[in-house]
Amino acid sequence: MIRETKAIIERTRRLGAGWQRLSLAVEDPALEHIQPGQTLLADTGDYLRENWIPVGFDSEEGVMLIEHPLGRTYTPGEVINLLGPVGTPFQLRHGVRHLLLVVLDYEPTRLLFLLHQAIKKEMAVTLVLTGIAREYPISTLPPVVEVIIGDEPETWPNQEDTLTWADQVYLLTAPMFSEERYLPLIYTLSKLRPALPEGFLQGVFDMPMPCGTGACAACMVRTSNGNLPACVDGPAFDVTQLKFL
């Protein structure tokens, strides 16, 4: 259930040229159980709350780690009001050993918590970065992650191989490009695999989320089960269940 709490920014760290990582001491201990896929709505003084995306925890320091593109500067000691957790945790299919994370011309932050969790579970993880995702400082990632860089926004080297050996795939792109970037992948996969198991191909919708409770209809995604709010039923949806225009 979504709840209000506050957090103190313990530390800020610059990652590469365009990213920052915030260490947060969160007041509500229930948020220690936040899962990959879930986010927090932070009151940063703007009209709408900002969607803050956890990328993991530092258990030694007892802090939650949040990553952002560099924009606003935060100061250690600043207190931030939060609402969360927002959304449904990402679901890893039973028996996944090879996880493919694909970020098509978008900020990869939404998938990083899942990446770290999968590494802890000793899965083999491949991360594809195309377009602006290539600007992410990959030197901060665990060295066991295989990183593939694609020069074109929609595709990447050895695409068929990576799709063939993956046990599950998470896709991330700008929501407005989801149709033109996800549909070709369904087509490619349909040639490689006789049938796609349920949940195999997940598309992540990083929508603006003014309320986080399903009440304002700002983050609806069209699926075969009707229009569903990404802030409650997402952010990940089975791509084969999506209804494109």
Q: Which residues of this protein are in contact with ligand FES, per CB under 6 A? A: 209-212, 214-219, 229, 231
CB hemisphere CA count around 168 (13 angstroms): 24
Q: What is the closest distance, in whole angstroms, from the C-beta atom of residue 215 to ligand FES in the complex?
A: 6
SS3 assignment, position 36: coil
In the complex, least distance from residue 222 CB atom to ligand FES, rounded to whole angstroms: 14
User: By the 8 A CB rule, do 176 and 150 touch?
Assistant: no
Closer Cβ to ligand FES, 36 or 212, answer by number = 212
Q: Are the CB atoms for 103 and 173 separated by under 8 Å? A: yes
Cβ proximity to ligand FES, 203 vs 212, nearer residue? 212
C-beta closer to ligand FES: residue 39 or 117? 39
The pair of three-digit structure tokens given for residue 4, joined into one six-digit string:
């209000």
- Identity of the residue, 56 or 234, whose beta carbon is nearer to ligand FES in the bound complex: 234
| Cβ neighbour number for residue 100 with a 10 Å cutoff | 23
Least separation in angstroms between residue 72's CB and ligand FES is 21
CB of 226 to ligand FES, least distance (A): 14
Least Cβ distance, residue 242 to ligand FES (angstroms): 17
The residue assigned the tokens 């600043």 is 78
Shortest separation between residue 102's beta carbon and ligand FES, angstroms? 24
Q: Which helix (H) or strand (E) holds 241?
A: none
Smaller CB separation from ligand FES, 15 or 218: 218
> Pick from 77, 88, 112, 89: which is nearest to 6 by CA?
77
| Alpha-carbon span 224 to 241, nearest angstrom | 5
Phi, psi at residue 88, to the nearest 5°?
-100, 135
- Identify which of residues 18 and 89 has a Cβ nearer to ligand FES in the complex: 89
Residue 10 CA to residue 22 CA, distance in Å, equals 8
